[in-house]
Amino acid sequence: MVPIGLRNFDEALRRLDALESEFPCRCGICDLRSEIYWRMGDKAAAIEALRAAPWGEEMDQFPALALEAMFLYCYFLALEGRQAPPKLVDAIPSDYVSIQYDGKRVSKADLVALIERIHNQKRRPADLR
């Protein structure tokens, strides 16, 4: 979550970059960076920040942060109409719920429904959409 009072996203990114070496969990940093990019409107940079997260490497030591980064990566891909990797989606527990920066709760069931809706739209002929 972006600290309260820090509304300048460029400044938030600079501070995050400056302090990055002090954080033991890379997934948490990737998550913060992606949130800033998403809120700036740079969806591609947000997705790339999460793609760089070492989910597998940090799952044992930082499971909550690794899982959140994995979930957001899949969710942001789906929001952009892109295919989320099925193995990552499958690795997310069925009862998982992510709380977004705006307080919105998004469950794995919501994610799966979004992915299915996008998949079905892509399969339908254009004249039936």
Dihedral sign (CA 11, 16, 19, 21): negative
* φ and ψ of 99, to 5 deg: -105, 115
pLDDT value of position 43:
94
Q: Closest Cα partner for 66 from 103, 104, 24, 16?
A: 24
Residues 113 and 69: their CA atoms lie apart, in Å, by: 19
Average of per-residue pLDDT values in the chain: 88
Q: 81 versus 125: which is more confidently predicted?
A: 81
Q: Tally the C-alpha atoms within 13 A of residue 5's C-alpha that lie toward its C-beta.
A: 0
Q: What is the pLDDT of residues 36-72, one digit of tens each?
A: 999 888 999 999 999 999 999 999 999 999 999 999 9
